Structure formats: structure tokens, C-alpha cells
Amino acid sequence: EVQLVETGGGLIQPGGSLRLSCAASGFTVSSNYMSWVRQAPGKGLEWVSVIYSGGSTYYADSVKGRFTISRDNSKNTLYLQMNSLRAEDTAVYYCAREMGYWGQGTLVTVSS
């Protein structure tokens, strides 16, 4: 059974850093494309980043240069390193396997 479990969210001050993790089971992360998608409170879905099986990565303009997507094949885990966080980064962050399987999300709140 495919499972995705996001962790690492929390309250962080503006300008701070946070690393989100997405532990996968039931499939191999490196064999699929994996995405991060976020949803600000009461708002719609916003694609954040993707890493393809070959290692190529892409980012939304809103996070480019501040966020980094990566994976650890030995841990079968996806990551999102978030630096220079802003209030507008406040959202529930979901990881998804090829957009067909989604985790439950982890809340990131950027506030002083």
C-alpha cells in the first residue's frame, strides 16, 4: 500500500529555515516523479516543486532560489528545504507521488 507521511512543519519566524520530510512506503521514491504542493489557509492549491526520476528539479517562481527539493534513496524519503521564509509561505504542504497519491500534509506557519 502506498503511503506518504509528511513531517517537519511548525511555527517559524520570517527569514528562518525549515526542512520538510515526506517518508514514503509501498513504492520507490527515486522511480517516480515527486512533487510538493501547498495550500495557504482558505486558499487553493499551489504547485511548489518537482523532482523527476532522473534527478531534474523544477520550482514555482514564488519559491525559486529559496526552496530546494531533494530525496534520499536509502531512506526512501523526499525533502523540501525552505530558506528565507516569508509570511506568504504559510500553508499546508503536501507531498505527492506523480500527483496520484498524496500525504496528509504538514502545516508551516511563518510568523513573528
Q: Which positions lie near another protein, rule CB under 8 A?
A: 35, 37, 44-47, 50, 58, 61, 94, 99-100, 102-105
Contact 49, 76 (CB under 8 A): no
State the minimum distance, in angstroms, from the CB of residue 110 to another protein.
Answer: 21
State the minimum distance, in angstroms, from the CB of residue 77 to another protein.
Answer: 18
Output 47 or 83, the one with its CB closest to another protein. 47
State the minimum distance, in angstroms, from the CB of residue 47 to another protein.
Answer: 4
Q: Is 67 helix (H, G, I), strand (E, B) or coil?
A: strand
Grid cell 514514503 in the structure block, residue: 24
Output 90 or 102, the one with its CB closest to another protein. 102
Phi and psi at 88, nearest 5°, equal -75, -5
CA dist 90 and 11 (Å) reads 9
Contact 96, 35 (CB under 8 A): yes
Output 65 or 112, the one with its CB closest to another protein. 65
What is the distance in angstroms between the CA of the first residue and the CA of the last residue of the chain? 40
State the minimum distance, in angstroms, from the CB of residue 76 to another protein.
Answer: 20
Output 13 or 54, the one with its CB closest to another protein. 54
